[in-house]
Copies of this chain bind each other. A is one copy, B any other.
């Protein structure tokens, strides 16, 4: 094993939405922490990193990855590899798919298990005021000097202060990590955690990769029609809205949502209607693929609401 070479690992946050639940495919061995599917990159066989990813995902799971996107390359010492063997650099990917039968050893898990503070659909998660903000206040106060304290105060404000920016998923996770509010911090530092531990931990730095994936997806949503990778071929407008809301972790204004989607030419009606459980039947729509040719940034601009219920 040469000193100058490293081994490359590919991790994938494979995302699907079922109804109102955004889910991620995890490998869950009993006892061990949840992990993202992970595979080695074989430089001898594969021409590109992405083809390597598609290959082992195809082998290990049965999913057809539609949209895939590289997220970030992590090379931090000690956050991945074992003491023996070569240094591991891991390249994280985001992949979107429609849920199917999962492979053995894997299962779908709602991503808000890992990030409960990111779901604002019902209301601001109570844990923010009850647990997170007090703990972060302490984190600011415990800063070694005034300058660090000021920086920390700024970060706390940006992440959890006035005006929720749903895209800052990674920033918030990293802040909670540094403040010792997630289990991984204590695991990585080898000390015992005596305080709160928020959300379900994951193996290695996988929760960080997942945070990156969610952040990227929430951003992309607004200017590229990526949601449709997660939808069935036809869907009602409410189903589409629920999917977007699930991903963004926010409630949207129904009437404005359909106005946006329609005006942008993102969807077209099929003339068919669903069989409703209750209420007036909704028309089934399909994604207008041609919009890719027409508009420069055809995303689902999410008309965020400012006040009460929908």
CB-CB nearest in chain B for A161: B293
Residues of chain B contacted by A42 (CB below 8 angstroms): 4
CB-CB nearest in chain B for A6: B43
Candidate in A2, A3, A72, A296 with the most chain B CB atoms within 10 angstroms: A296
* A49 is an interface residue with CB less than 8 A from chain B: yes
Q: Are the C-beta atoms of A2 and B1 separated by less than 8 Å?
A: yes
Binding site of A, secondary structure by majority: helix, strand, loop or mixed? loop
Task: Give the docked Cα–Cα distance between A8 and B161 (Å).
Answer: 39
Q: Are the C-beta atoms of A3 and B89 separated by less than 8 Å?
A: no
* A73 is an interface residue with CB less than 8 A from chain B: yes
Residues of chain B contacted by A146 (CB below 8 angstroms): none
* A86 is an interface residue with CB less than 8 A from chain B: yes
Task: Give the docked Cα–Cα distance between A77 and B41 (Å).
Answer: 13
Residue in B4, B77, B86, B293 whose CB lies within 8 Å of A48:
B77
Q: Are the C-beta atoms of A75 and B48 separated by less than 8 Å?
A: yes
Residues of chain B contacted by A47 (CB below 8 angstroms): 76-78
Task: Give the docked Cα–Cα distance between A73 and B46 (Å).
Answer: 15
Task: Give the docked Cα–Cα distance between A80 and B298 (Å).
Answer: 34
Residues of chain B contacted by A52 (CB below 8 angstroms): 75
* Besides A6-B8, A161-B293, A165-B296, 20 other A-B contacts (C-beta < 8 A): A1-B5, A2-B2, A2-B5, A3-B44, A5-B43, A6-B43, A8-B75, A41-B75, A43-B86, A43-B87, A46-B77, A47-B77, A49-B74, A49-B89, A52-B75, A73-B91, A154-B293, A157-B293, A158-B292, A163-B295
